[in-house]
């Protein structure tokens, strides 16, 4: 397995939010349910996708791939200086929100169509979250053989 792409994105990691829903009245007077992303989620995805484009391959990969994602979260301001140092050294891990699976979902949604064609191509995911300065995403995409 050889690294195809590695990037460090200096954007604070955020989690994928749940889709919003609302009822819309049709012309016939009936109501139907619809879902949508809130404007903040769309803005965050746009910002991340804009930076991801700098690292994209000439054409999206069309093979089985392995992805590693490391999310470096900002250290809480309530941490003492000593505790912040321990967090940045990895002695304290962020076992709190945002959930790792939602962080992964946010990144994968932004990568789709940029680095690969479809989520079904992903055959292996390795992900972790840490405290880090500056807050950032770091990822590797490799062809899986």
CA gap 85, 19 in Å, rounded = 36
Taking only the tens place, the pLDDT of each residue in 53-95 is 999 999 999 999 999 999 999 999 999 999 999 999 989 999 8
Task: Please report the pLDDT score of residue 122 as a whole number.
Answer: 95
> pTM (2 decimals)?
0.81
Asked if pLDDT for residue 16 goes beyond 90, the answer is no
- Selected from 3.40.50.2300, 3.40.50.20, 3.30.360.10, 3.30.1330.70, the CATH number assigned to the domain covering 3-143 reads 3.30.1330.70
Report the share of the chain in percent with pLDDT over 70: 95
pLDDT band of 140, cuts 50, 70, 90: very high
């Amino acid at each position: 397995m050889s690294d195809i792409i590695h990037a460090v994105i200096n954007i604070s990691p955020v989690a994928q939010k749940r889709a919003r829903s609302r009822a819309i009245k049709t012309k016939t007077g009936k109501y139907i349910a619809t879902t949508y992303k809130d404007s903040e989620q769309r803005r965050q995805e746009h910002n991340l996708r804009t930076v991801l484009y700098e690292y994209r391959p000439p054409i999206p990969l069309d093979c089985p791939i392995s992805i590693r994602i490391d999310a470096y979260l900002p250290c809480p301001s309530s941490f003492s200086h000593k505790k912040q140092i321990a967090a940045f050294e990895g002695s304290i891990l962020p076992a709190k929100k945002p959930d790792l699976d939602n962080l992964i979902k946010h990144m994968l949604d932004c990568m789709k169509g940029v680095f690969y064609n479809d989520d079904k191509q992903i055959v292996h995911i390795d992900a972790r979250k840490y405290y880090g300065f500056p807050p950032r995403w770091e990822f590797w995409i490799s062809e899986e053989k």
